[in-house]
């Protein structure tokens, strides 16, 4: 069962994913988020990079988000989303690795435009703004919280640890709570 912090985190992510702000998430919201992300990093629609991100979002939709839909309208509201995320990811030991990690890896591959294995502040802020509609200030603040060793870049392992903390940790102090920007109190 989600605690109050986890409920706020899930509601925060839900709002970021609801691209058309209609109070529900559907496949179109995921497609729009994927398309904004690949465009922000200079990839053309239909490119292999674009198709990979879309495929991972489609897999997440089919395997996790659509099964959250309890009324059969192929749209998920915030209550359905919170309940489903708890069932599929938060309470499931392997849920993050099975459902979220593949998308996180696709994001990482897109962000690392120079292929050096490091995500810079600029790359992270660009991803946060394009995929999740975060302001530059919010993206930059998130980067500061996630750069645990203070070396000025994020590794794939740091990003996975932060993502998993966001989805699974009940602790207010978990740095991963910042991966999608500041969460309203």
pLDDT digits 0-9 by tens, 26-83: 999 999 988 888 888 888 888 998 898 889 889 989 988 999 999 999 999 999 999 9
Place of tokens 């970021």: 16
State how far the Cα of 157 lies from the Cα of 119, in Å rounded to an integer.
11
Domain count, the chain: 1
Would you state the pLDDT for residue 185? 63
User: Residue 185 domain-assigned?
Assistant: no
User: Residue 37 domain-assigned?
Assistant: yes
CATH of the domain at 99: 1.10.238.10
The yes-or-no verdict on residue 124 having pLDDT over 90 is yes
The yes-or-no verdict on residue 21 having pLDDT over 80 is yes
The yes-or-no verdict on residue 184 having pLDDT over 80 is no
Q: Domain containing 97: what range?
A: 4-178
User: Residue 24 domain-assigned?
Assistant: yes
User: Residue 184 domain-assigned?
Assistant: no
The yes-or-no verdict on residue 18 having pLDDT over 90 is yes
């Amino acid at each position: 069962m989600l605690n109050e912090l986890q409920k706020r985190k899930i509601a925060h992510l839900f709002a970021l994913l609801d691209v058309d702000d209609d109070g529900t998430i559907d496949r179109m919201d995921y497609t729009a988020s994927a398309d904004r992300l690949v465009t922000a990093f200079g990839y053309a629609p239909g490119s292999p990079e674009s198709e990979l991100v879309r495929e991972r979002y489609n897999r997440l939709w089919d395997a996790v988000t659509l099964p959250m839909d309890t009324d059969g309208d192929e749209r998920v509201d915030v209550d359905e989303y919170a309940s489903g995320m708890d069932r599929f990811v938060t309470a499931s030991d392997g849920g993050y690795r099975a459902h979220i990690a593949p998308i996180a890896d696709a994001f990482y591959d897109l962000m690392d435009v120079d292929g050096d294995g490091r995500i810079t502040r600029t790359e992270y802020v660009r991803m946060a703004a394009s995929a999740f509609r975060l302001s530059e200030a919010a993206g930059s603040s998130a980067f500061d919280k996630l750069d645990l060793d203070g070396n000025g870049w994020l590794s794939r392992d740091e990003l996975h640890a932060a993502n998993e903390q966001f989805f699974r940790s009940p602790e207010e102090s978990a740095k991963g709570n910042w991966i999608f920007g500041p969460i309203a109190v």
